[in-house]
Amino acid sequence: MARFPHKTLLHLLAPFLVLATFWEDALYTAWFSDRTCEEMVMVLGIPKWFAELILMVDTLQTLVISLLIICRFHVLAGVVMLLVQLLADTMLFDVWQLLREFGVAGCVVLLLLFERQRLKGEIPEIGQDVQQVLLLLARICMACACLLWLKDINELIFDVFAFVCLVFILFGFHCKFVSALTAFALLVCNVLKNGFWWQNPTSEDNDAELFCRTLTMVGGYLLLAQLGPGKWSLDSYRVYV
């Protein structure tokens, strides 16, 4: 019996879901380039021409990364570039934004692990133990992302659901089912709550950013549901007991 989500379908959709937040960021930067440059000049104290150069390089980098990953030219290089970009971004954010970046980083690592069958000849030095470590770190990042629900949604039922998801994913208990359930819940809430298509295209509201970032998290949880929690988890312990 085929699993849900079907691996072939997920193989096609996963890169687009994970990259959604990076595309939105690049489009936002291009659309509001003047305002973004002014913010960089004020915050970083750099010349405007240098800020424009940084934005141009960042946009081109996003395009190159997208081609590397979606076309499967060199997924490892694309993933490494994404992680470096996220690491650079975290230097300017607060704790809650840092958790968001951790969640996105977890999605990126899960995408790499999902593509590992295609990368065997490309990165033969990465063995099973290293893959299990990466899976553990990605699972922790995905669990930490659940903390954002406790902050953003002040309703008891959602707080309880977020806390349960956090604990189950963190310890790898019924991880596949909980991850798939989390992805479904996020997708429904995202469509209902972050409907950016209703707002003015020139609006500076962050509905589009939230929508695309949530799509990335949906992709991450679907990947985790397919990959499973790994050997350092309660699910793995239950199998061997």
- High-pLDDT (> 90) share of the chain, %: 23
Rounded CA separation 63/27 (Å): 11
| Mean model confidence pLDDT for the chain | 80
- Flag the least confident range among 14-28, 122-136, 161-175: 122-136
Q: pLDDT digit string (tens) for 190-232? A: 888 776 655 554 454 567 778 888 899 999 999 999 999 988 8
- Which range scores top for mean pLDDT: 4-13, 146-155, 166-175? 166-175
- Which of residues 156 and 221 earns the better pLDDT score? 221
Whole-number pLDDT of residue 55: 83
Number of Cβ atoms within 10 Å of the Cβ of 235 = 18
**Placement of tokens 């699910």 in the chain:** 235
Integer Cα distance of 87 and 210 in angstroms: 20
> In the prediction, which pLDDT does 70 show?
85
pLDDT for the residue numbered 33: 79
CA of residue 229 relative to chain centroid, distance:
17
Q: Rounded CA gap, 215 and 19, in Å?
A: 9
What is the model's pTM? 0.84
Q: What contacts 24+ positions apart, CB below 8 Å, involve 69-74?
A: 69/15, 69/19, 69/111, 70/15, 70/16, 70/19, 72/115, 72/118, 74/122
